[in-house]
Amino acid sequence: MTADFISYKKACQIFDSNLDKSKLLELEASGATAPLKKFKSGALFKKGWEMKDLPSIGREFGFLPSFESPMSIAVFTTKGGVLKTTLTYNVARMAALHGLRTVVVGLDMQGDVTNTLGHEDHEGDGSELTEELMRKINETQGLYDVFMGNALVEETLYSTELPNLFYIPETPELASLAESIGQINRREYWLTEKIINPLKEKFDLVIMDCSPNWNKLTTNALVACDTLLSPLECKINNFRNFKVFKHFLGEFLDDMRLDFKTIFIPTKFSNQKKLSKEIAQWYLENVPGCTTGGIRESVVSEEAQAMRLSLIEHAPKSNAAIEMRSLLMEVFSQFEPKKSRVTPRMDMNKSTEFPKFN
């Protein structure tokens, strides 16, 4: 069986659908979906699709709601290891599998999402691994090249095995970019104006994977996003982080006169741990914008990423994948365009009287 052959049965599981055969035949005939093909699987022939065909199936038979205008999403909180990149990757891949033109913008020097997208994959026996990797990294055009005027945005877009999923990879120069943006006028708007707005003309969904650091790339991503996705780790030491994060986010929104929807997503909870369940419950009751679903701690989720798949593709029938499906439905139905804040918020406790000069 070839690695990217998806059987009819597996596609049904991924999209949680019975893929009604009569409707499928109708759509196949009209050219709206790719035709079913026969693949050899062991000694048997099975019917299915190549990976590249799946978005045309997902568009017709998937479970995600669509949205009207292009949407930019930032994934951010000031903590590492809380599933920001995992969430970015799962949202992006499932969006693409549902036929949405999707682009991931990597904003973390650690390069995790770039790596998961397979950018630094190499062929050969591994003996020249370091050299090959460094060559690839040096050759990669990224956001810094656009900033320096050495590349156009479209020249930084890399393709994937899904024809409608692209990404702008993270390069080591993101460190210089974060510093350089800080020196220019309209320093919070560079990403919006030069990258995200142009991307929104070509893509339905732009998703930015942020680093946990509050740097200029992060503030640019916040300005550029329509909706923010923010993981809430279900661990006791995350309470402090959450409070501090909310405070800084609130101040930033006020200072920048910004208003966008923030969706908080509980992550890494464990149904076996009483404390973890209590924390998840507390978030649900006390955090406005907290989703009812979340991402549980699970090995299949880690495995999926190692195989460069979304959790739902890797283990569609697992509990973790069932929860991911309802979480994504919940999250996608809440995406909304950035609100415009016409008047700055006023502090009603402050005197609004004009000072008297004697």
User: Of the two residues 154 and 302, which places its CB atom closer to ligand ADP in the complex?
Assistant: 302
Residue least distant from Mg ion (Cβ) = 85
User: Among 112, 170, 173, 188, which residue sits at the site for ligand ADP (rule: CB under 6 A)?
Assistant: 112
Q: Which does 86 bind (CB under 5 to 8 A by kind): ligand ADP, Mg ion, none?
A: ligand ADP
Nearest to 187 by CA among 220, 225, 151, 159: 220
Q: Which does 313 bind (CB under 5 to 8 A by kind): ligand ADP, Mg ion, none?
A: none
238 sits near ligand ADP (criterion: CB under 6 A): no
| Planar angle of CA 202, 203, 209, nearest 5 degrees | 130
82 sits near ligand ADP (criterion: CB under 6 A): yes
227 sits near ligand ADP (criterion: CB under 6 A): no
User: Among 143, 221, 232, 295, which residue sits at the site for ligand ADP (rule: CB under 6 A)?
Assistant: 295
The least CB distance from residue 19 to ligand ADP, in Å, is: 28
The contact mask relative to Mg ion for 98-117 (x = CB under 5 A, - = no) is --------------x-----
301 sits near ligand ADP (criterion: CB under 6 A): yes
The least CB distance from residue 88 to Mg ion, in Å, is: 8
User: Of the two residues 188 and 209, which places its CB atom closer to Mg ion in the complex?
Assistant: 209
313 sits near ligand ADP (criterion: CB under 6 A): no
User: Of the two residues 33 and 88, which places its CB atom closer to ligand ADP in the complex?
Assistant: 88
Mark the segment that binds ligand ADP (CB under 6 A) among 65-73, 80-88, 155-163, 345-353: 80-88
Q: Mind spelling out the 3-state secondary structure of the chain?
A: CCCCEEEHHHHHHHCCCCCCHHHHHHHHHHCCCCCCEEEEECCEEEEEEEHHHHHHHHHHHCCCCCCCCCEEEEECCCCCCCCHHHHHHHHHHHHHHCCCCEEEEEECCCCHHHHHCCCCCCCCCCCCHHHHHHHHHHHCCCHHHHHCCCCCHHHHCEECCCCCEEEECCCCCHHHHHHHHCCCCCCCCHHHHHHHHHHHHHCCEEEEEECCCCCHHHHHHHHHCCEEEEEEECCCCHHHHHHHHHHHHHHHHHHCCEECEEEEEEEEECCCCHHHHHHHHHHHHHCCCECCCCEECCHHHHHHHHCCCCHHHHCCCCHHHHHHHHHHHHHHHHCCCCEECCCCCCCCCCCCCCCCCC
The footprint of Mg ion on this chain (CB under 5 A) covers a number of residues equal to 3
CA separation, residue 4 to residues 7, 10, 233 (Å):
10, 12, 33
User: Among 297, 314, 315, 318, which residue sits at the site for ligand ADP (rule: CB under 6 A)?
Assistant: 297
How big is the chain, counted in residues?
358
251 sits near ligand ADP (criterion: CB under 6 A): no
The least CB distance from residue 290 to ligand ADP, in Å, is: 17
User: Among 46, 79, 84, 296, which residue sits at the site for Mg ion (rule: CB under 5 A)?
Assistant: 84
User: Among 56, 72, 85, 140, which residue sits at the site for ligand ADP (rule: CB under 6 A)?
Assistant: 85
User: Among 33, 72, 78, 85, which residue sits at the site for Mg ion (rule: CB under 5 A)?
Assistant: 85
Using CB under 5 A as the criterion, which residues of the chain lie in contact with Mg ion when the complex forms?
Answer: 84-85, 112
- Residues near ligand ADP (CB under 6 A) are 80-86, 112, 268, 295, 297-298, 301-302, 305
